[in-house]
Structure 1
Amino acid sequence: MVAQLTSQNLQEVVEKRKIAVYAGVDPSAASLHVGNLAVLITLLHFHLNGHKVISLIGGATGQVGDPGGRTTERDLMAQELVRTNTESITRQVENFFASAREYAARRRKDQESSPPTILNNASWHSQLSFLSFLRFPGKLVRVNSLLSRESIKARLDSTQGISFAEFTYQLLQAYDFWILHKEHDVSLQIGGSDQWGNIVSGVELIRREKALSSPQVETSDTPDQDSAYGLTIPLLTTSSGEKFGKSAGNAIWLDSKMTSIFDFYQFFVRVADADVPLYLQSLTLLSVEEIESICKEHALHPEKRIAQRKLAAEVTELIHGDSAAKGAQMASTILFEPTSHTALGDDLTQISLLLGAIGENHPRVRKIASEQLGAPLTKIASSLGLVASHGKARALLQAGGLYLNNVRVTQLDKQLEASDFMGNKIAILRAGKEEHLILELVSR
């Protein structure tokens, strides 16, 4: 999980003493996505090993935009949107650590009891005047150093170039590190590998300020004498080189209102065999021995997707909790494993878990009013879009391809009845092997 280090002494430092660590995220959207998980879980590892952890939300830097990893200028977000996103992501980070700590407690005992600290860099940047910014950090940062960063060089070589605002982003983030080092004794910043230039800028600023204020003290590579360190995490990608969780431009969000728990779970079930070992290592707290055992079992029967199911269950539990993970597993079994003849019966608790995992606005869920009861099942199937027409629904039934609650429908005039709904709540209508709808009975 390590891409680069600013000093090889870092491992010795963290083994000798507990330090304060931080990672930042800009509120460029209302939710984090699975691409943010590797850094969050790295923070979690430090937290579970007794280090002080700070998650920094970029309420100020989000108003500028990080040029790293982009070939074009970011569109400026309205300040109100930045504020709203900041509040949303702050709650999400709080929820992540709450859920992750429970997840960890079920797997290990050596964890800290106090939650990590969450800060917003707008609290100090809003107090910083432009002249003060030019005097510090501006006076100590070398332009030639900034120009040498890959994120800046790539943009300078592009047709669009780079704005002064985005050019100064490294200084803003460097100032964040300096503030956290000064006021919270933070000595390590963590980020994705695309954050290397920003992190190095912060390390250099702290070292230069220290040398300026105490010229008799020389910085060195001796453990405990370096005052600031940087560590980057490899950006997770698929075996085909695509950004993790952003294939076809559709991010897999951590917010269940933006990506349902069911779809979140299914994303991990669908990952390629070649990607699973890395994701199990990077995104779960399973031991290396457990992961090796899972992958060996998977290799014997790859068609069962054993490793993917374990990955999906672990990450869903980590983010959304144990009950949500069980609901997603249940929904997947009912929808995609009809041969298992899984039935919920009238277990309202399990039905509630299933509906909670899929989400009430999911395209696979259709609400059925009591007035629709008594209609032919073929008409229901066509009107809800499960099949293209009433005629095709009848033909499908006659061919043995229409199922209700995973039982083949044989009566051509079969009507949808209240007794077909498990727990008087849901029924599963299936066409062929893969097309499913969850019918939810509601009263109007």
Structure 2
Amino acid sequence: MTYHPKSDFMAVMMQRGYLADCTDYQALDEALSQGVVTAYIGYDATAKSLHVGHLLNIMMLRWFQKTGHKPITLMGGGTTKVGDPSFRADERPLLTPDQIDANIDGMKQVFAKYLDYGESGNGALMLNNAEWLDGLNYLEFLRDIGRHFSVNRMLSFESVKSRLDREQSLSFLEFNYMILQAYDFLELYRRYDCTLQMGGSDQWGNIVNGIDLTRRVLDEEIYGLTSPLLTTSDGRKMGKSQGGAIWLNSDMLSPYEFWQFWRNTTDADVGRFLKLYTEMPLDECERLGALAGSEINDAKIVLANEVTALCHGAEAAAAAEATAREVFEKGGVGDDLPTLELSPADLGDGISIVQLIVKSGLAKSGKEAKRLIAENGARIDDAPLTDAGMMLDAGALASPVKLSAGKKRHALVKLAD
């Protein structure tokens, strides 16, 4: 589709690769070009931190604010009690209200890095849908809102259909999720004149539901815009690594490990990720992404620095790069490596190298650690580690020991002071 946007925001979305679909490109673009628009993205509080999989949409909100509009981060204090069934094979574990509140507190730390929640005309708002969902009267809600939903149509949405096609159970609780999310959009329009919901393309059905509901109840036109669901060029879901999720909170993943994740980007993804996850000019993203051979590694360092500076600050990015150079180029130890501290009780009379590899997070199990050693993938202080039966005592750990899994993953082991 050839469409030349009028608004700065829509131009950014289209040129940098954020746009998968939109309910009405031209009407939304027109509204964006005529004044301040309010938009929201919802985040269920299923963990204490957001992860890299959320970063694309956080960047969309950041660009939305940078181009003069008002973003809302909607915390799912209410909807988390139900659980989003979209494209899941099973029901999410139900969390207590206290767990949900603790998760929201953890997630708030990230948004403050990307958005300005100040008092200005387009200052971001952080809201919690528990505010209007917790007090709903069930019978009134069924009568006033439920009557606008066709079960036939709800069953046709891909997120529900895929679950039923696989003959996997979908509880009535989860089936209600899309009604609640649609109701969020209606309430945000009523309370804050919010006319746009954004999200990943897996949320398309839920977004369209909210638009339909608002049209039926209030006879008002509102919009939806989705981003592509990103996979890396080798087909993996964005934000997952061998060690698990790439968290955005520094207490769940160190800035150094976060930096390393971006530094290890596949060559083919560098240009695309620079456009999506940094604010560098488009032509510079394309120039760096087109580098070949060893030069592409310089582009990966730029990517890692830019993304880490946004998430953890410029100092953390510079420290991570310095540590990486020390570790990789000089074979040094580096101050920022993930560190495992052992107490005298942990150490006892000695501890096996296999246990240390697992405890330091370089392998998930003893079996995996032994296989790493057998396949010559493990090193101790940069020397090949070949003996899976090796034991280390207090003498061996008198100074910190560096363990490595492959060329890119390292950890320090030291005795607690």
Displacement of 1:79 in angstroms is: 3.0
- 1:319 counterpart = 2:337: no
Matched letter for residue 270 of structure 2: V
Partners of 2:231 and 2:260 lie apart in 1 by 18
Aligned counterpart in structure 2 of residue 42 of structure 1, from 55, 60, 75: 60
User: Residue 436 and residue 251 in structure 1: after superposition, are their counterparts in 2 closer, same or farther (change >3 A)?
Assistant: closer
User: Residue 401 and residue 35 in structure 1: after superposition, are their counterparts in 2 closer, same or farther (change >3 A)?
Assistant: closer
User: Residue 130 and residue 438 in structure 1: after superposition, are their counterparts in 2 closer, same or farther (change >3 A)?
Assistant: same
1:4 paired residue number:
21
User: Residue 383 and residue 130 in structure 1: after superposition, are their counterparts in 2 closer, same or farther (change >3 A)?
Assistant: closer
Matched letter for residue 20 of structure 2: A
Partners of 2:400 and 2:241 lie apart in 1 by 32
2:271 paired residue number:
277
Deviations 1:330-358 (A, max 9, x none): 1111111117xx89xxxxxxxxxx74x54
Displacement of 1:308 in angstroms is: 1.4
- 1:125 counterpart = 2:133: yes
SS in 2 for 1:54: strand
Partners of 2:159 and 2:382 lie apart in 1 by 55
Partners of 2:323 and 2:229 lie apart in 1 by 31
Matches within 5 A, 1:32-71: 32-71=50-89
Displacement of 1:246 in angstroms is: 1.7
Are the counterparts in 1 of residues 77 and 129 from structure 2 also a CA contact under 8 Å? yes
Partners of 1:124 and 1:250 lie apart in 2 by 34
1:25 paired residue number:
43
Partners of 1:228 and 1:248 lie apart in 2 by 41
Partners of 2:158 and 2:406 lie apart in 1 by 49
User: Residue 312 and residue 113 in structure 1: after superposition, are their counterparts in 2 closer, same or farther (change >3 A)?
Assistant: farther
Partners of 1:60 and 1:3 lie apart in 2 by 28
Are the counterparts in 2 of residues 7 and 229 from structure 1 also a CA contact under 8 Å? yes
SS in 1 for 2:188: helix
Deviations 1:75-109 (A, max 9, x none): 222332222212222333234436x99xxxxxxxx
SS in 2 for 1:275: helix
Matched letter for residue 283 of structure 1: Y
Displacement of 1:45 in angstroms is: 0.5
Displacement of 1:150 in angstroms is: 0.8
User: Residue 33 and residue 430 in structure 1: after superposition, are their counterparts in 2 closer, same or farther (change >3 A)?
Assistant: closer
Task: State the TM-score, normalized to the length of structure 2.
Answer: 0.76
2:194 paired residue number:
186
Matches within 5 A, 1:226-375: 227-248=221-242, 250-296=244-290, 298-302=291-295, 305-338=297-330, 355=335, 357-358=336-337, 362-363=338-339
Are the counterparts in 2 of residues 368 and 439 from structure 1 also a CA contact under 8 Å? no
Higher gyration radius (CA): 1
Matches within 5 A, 1:419-438: none
Matches within 5 A, 1:190-201: 190-201=198-209
User: Residue 157 and residue 248 in structure 1: after superposition, are their counterparts in 2 closer, same or farther (change >3 A)?
Assistant: farther
Are the counterparts in 2 of residues 368 and 440 from structure 1 also a CA contact under 8 Å? no
User: Residue 441 and residue 129 in structure 1: after superposition, are their counterparts in 2 closer, same or farther (change >3 A)?
Assistant: same
Partners of 1:324 and 1:60 lie apart in 2 by 35
SS in 2 for 1:56: strand
- 1:162 counterpart = 2:155: no
Deviations 1:137-170 (A, max 9, x none): 2122222221221111112222223111111111
Are the counterparts in 2 of residues 4 and 233 from structure 1 also a CA contact under 8 Å? yes
Partners of 1:93 and 1:60 lie apart in 2 by 19
Are the counterparts in 2 of residues 401 and 432 from structure 1 also a CA contact under 8 Å? no
2:386 paired residue number:
none
User: Residue 129 and residue 272 in structure 1: after superposition, are their counterparts in 2 closer, same or farther (change >3 A)?
Assistant: same
| Number of equivalences | 358
1:77 paired residue number:
95
Partners of 1:163 and 1:249 lie apart in 2 by 31
Partners of 1:178 and 1:234 lie apart in 2 by 24
Deviations 1:199-251 (A, max 9, x none): 0000000111123xxxxxxxxxxxxxx62100001111111222101244711
Matched letter for residue 21 of structure 2: Q
Aligned counterpart in structure 1 of residue 213 of structure 2, from 181, 194, 205: 205
Matched letter for residue 94 of structure 1: A
Partners of 2:34 and 2:84 lie apart in 1 by 34
Partners of 1:62 and 1:37 lie apart in 2 by 20
Deviations 1:31-77 (A, max 9, x none): 10000001110011010111011000000101111111212222222
Matched letter for residue 328 of structure 2: F
User: Residue 316 and residue 55 in structure 1: after superposition, are their counterparts in 2 closer, same or farther (change >3 A)?
Assistant: same
SS in 1 for 2:274: helix
How big is the alpha-carbon RMSD for the aligned residues of Structure 1 and Structure 2? 3.5
User: Residue 266 and residue 82 in structure 1: after superposition, are their counterparts in 2 closer, same or farther (change >3 A)?
Assistant: same
Matched letter for residue 165 of structure 1: L
SS in 2 for 1:299: coil
Displacement of 1:134 in angstroms is: 0.4
Partners of 2:330 and 2:154 lie apart in 1 by 58
Displacement of 1:13 in angstroms is: 2.0
User: Residue 188 and residue 38 in structure 1: after superposition, are their counterparts in 2 closer, same or farther (change >3 A)?
Assistant: same
Structure 2: gaps spanning 5 or more residues: 1-17, 345-352, 361-368, 370-380, 384-394
User: Residue 175 and residue 429 in structure 1: after superposition, are their counterparts in 2 closer, same or farther (change >3 A)?
Assistant: closer
User: Residue 50 and residue 436 in structure 1: after superposition, are their counterparts in 2 closer, same or farther (change >3 A)?
Assistant: closer
2:31 paired residue number:
13
